[in-house]
A and B are shown apart, each in its own frame.
Chain A
Amino acid sequence: MTPMLRAAIAAAFVVASIGAVRAEDLATYSITLKNHRFTPAEIHVPSGKAFFVSVKNLDDTADEFEMHNPAIEKMIPPGEEGKARIRPLGPGRFPFFGDFHQDTAQGAFVSE
């Protein structure tokens, strides 16, 4: 098997995994970003359960919804909505922020 063939097979796996996308039956929490601030800025979520967060960017500038723990990086163009799956969290506070406007765009998930 040539290395080129190997690469082709690996690429085929990636394509196959894209085909396998399906929506999970999880709770979705919606956040809006306006004037570089999140509303709501604090979201209470049940511990131990994965969920989706959906961020709608109402500003006319792009921003990146980001978390360090768990690591999330999601570019959201102006007027668009970005969705990310957050893994089950233990009890505690998990901050998120808008990477391009960190001085105002701050918030957190409170897992309890």
Chain B
Amino acid sequence: MLGALIIVFREAIEAGIIVGVVMAVTKGVRGSRLTAGAGVVAGVLGACLVAAFAGAIADALNGVGQELFNASILSLAVCMLAWHNIWMASHGRQLAAEARRLGQEVRSGARSLAALAIVVAVAVMREGSEVVLFLYGLVAAGGTTARDLLIGSLLGLAAGVAVSAATYFGLATIPARRLFAVTSALIALLAAGLASQAASFLQQAGVVTIGSQTAWDTSAILSDASLFGRVLHALVGYADQPSVLQVVVYAATLTAILTLSKTFAARSSSRRTEAPAPQLG
């Protein structure tokens, strides 16, 4: 039972932390709860589909279909997070102004909600498909221990949801004006972490073979198998033995998002000094 609890908990926090961050980012945006919920539901359905076709996916493309599938959906999530951050940077000032005027109600954020719903769905789908496969195995194996393991899994899922709730409420205590800066940084780090995971899958598939040496080994200090390591892994992409390519991809993604956000923010504020900003909504 404990084994099942730990396995499901581990997968659940990886997806859950992403959901928690996304919910904190869209806090106060009308329809954001519904969108996040829809993302989770879509992710769970997607996870069942992926699990059902796991064999076919694994067999596809010379046996590396799973890695390429993972790398693709991770890249999709990275693009969506990057787009959200850049969009927020160019509209952030207005959003903050409206947030103050209208309290928690910000209408203009709705445009990037769809992007974040996709991020939620992708995160739940990827981690969820492993849980579904694991649970399916338990049920298929049957026996007297199956019920025990199922209870363990549910407890693990509950614990994972609790960690994501803690992430959300932790971020939600940050004052609204600071929240924007904190979550933008967090989203950029999250995206960089996902990009580096995508690079790792491409290396595992043998599609990319450069930079496969281990860049450093901090497993003795903080193992990414430990709970804190797992949380850092989900939040900022921490790995205790990353490959050189992973480090390069991480740095490049982070730099690209921060640079583009800054460029768009500067452009929109200079435009605003010349002419009154157009009304969004």
Contact = CB atoms under 8 A, between A and B. Distances in A.
Contacts, number: 135
Interface string A65-103: 000111111111111111111011000000000011000
Nearest to B85: A3
B86 interface: yes
A69 to B, nearest CB: 5
A24 to B, nearest CB: 5
Interface in A48-74: 50, 52, 54, 60-62, 64, 68-74
B71 interface: yes
Interface residues of A, number: 45
Contact of A60 (B51, B61, B140): B140
Contact of B83 (A4, A23, A78): A4
Interface stretch (B32-40, B92-100, B128-136): B128-136
Interface string B74-116: 0110111011001100000000000000000000000000000
Nearest to B141: A61
Contacts of A27: none
The prevalent SS among residues of B at the interface is: helix
A80 B260 CA distance: 43
Interface string B169-206: 00000000000000000000000000000001011111
B29 interface: no
B212 A68 contact: no
A65 B138 CA distance: 18
A11 B76 contact: yes
Interface string B116-159: 00000000000001100110111011000000000000000000
B58 A77 contact: yes
10 residue pairs, one from A and one from B, having the closest CB atoms: A61-B137, A85-B206, A87-B212, A83-B63, A7-B79, A62-B133, A77-B54, A3-B83, A14-B75, A62-B137
Interface of B: 3, 7, 51, 54-55, 58-59, 61-64, 66-68, 71-72, 75-76, 78-80, 82-83, 86-87, 129-130, 133-134, 136-138, 140-141, 200, 202-209, 212-214, 217, 219, 225, 239-243, 260, 264
5 contacts: A7-B82, A50-B209, A71-B200, A74-B67, A77-B54
